[in-house]
Amino acid sequence: MAETPRIILFDIDGTLVTTGGAGAVAWRQAFEDLYGIPADIGQFTDAGMTDPDVGAKTFEAVLHRKPTARELAQLIQRRLEHLPEAIADSKGYRVLPGVTERLRQLSRDGHLLGIITGNGDGAAAVKLARGDLNRWFTFGAYATAGVDRPGIVRRAVERGEAMLGCDVPNHDIFVVGDTPLDIQAAHAVDCTAVAVATGHYDAAALREAGADHVLETLEEELPLSS
């Protein structure tokens, strides 16, 4: 058991799992249901964006106006309705290398594990469920309209510290993600950014983006001693 518990916050897509495009399938079905347009989010958005931003940018691109708050909420809700089937049917879904073993090890070592994600909390739970990963996370912070990635990390840090009952030094709070946006969010809240090259960015790109540490996969040990 570690003498000093760390708070370790994990992104989901590209870090813990890949859904094999199931998220995009559910978005396409939501746009088809509500507007008769099978929109492809990949044409209009980038990896690491939050669900509200993905929905809003795709809406604006295909309908040529910004969504109202209610329209965006309905779109996100309809996408969530379709997501469980899309995840279940995805032939490309997989838990990424080393993830299950690393989460078990970190938990058994006494560190507090949380989720930070651009997904809403419902979508996050669905994506983790197929890989049986929800068991490792006792708290998290999720995307809502108007909250950016630094805000998500900040909220997760507050929840983690509340669970531990104390302030945790920033150097003992680690953000593990796979995109430059994860790195920027970690540094905006003065946390240590650990990038893993299992998403859309290779190790060189993640180093260039300013990651404090870069791992090829979570089969490698996290650098918690620094």
Q: Say which range, 94-108, 146-160, 186-200, has the weakest mean pLDDT.
A: 146-160
Which pLDDT score is estimated for 186?
A: 96
DSSP calls for the chain: --SSPPEEEE--BTTTEE-TTHHHHHHHHHHHHHHS----GGGT--TT--HHHHHHHHHHHHHSSPPPHHHHHHHHHHHHHHHHHHHHH-TT-EEPTTHHHHHHHHHHTT-EEEEE-SS-HHHHHHHHHTTT-GGG-SEEE---TT--HHHHHHHHHHHHHHHHTS---GGGEEEEESSHHHHHHHHHTT-EEEEESSSSS-HHHHHHTT-SEEESSTTSPP-TT-
Q: How confident is the model at residue 47 (pLDDT cuts 50, 70, 90)?
A: low
- Going from N- to C-terminal start, the domains of the chain cover 7-18+93-215, 22-89
pLDDT at 1 over 70: no
Which pLDDT score is estimated for 171?
A: 87
Which pLDDT score is estimated for 184?
A: 95
Q: What is the pTM of this model?
A: 0.92
Which pLDDT score is estimated for 123?
A: 93
Q: Which CATH superfamily is domain 7-18+93-215 in?
A: HAD superfamily/HAD-like (3.40.50.1000)
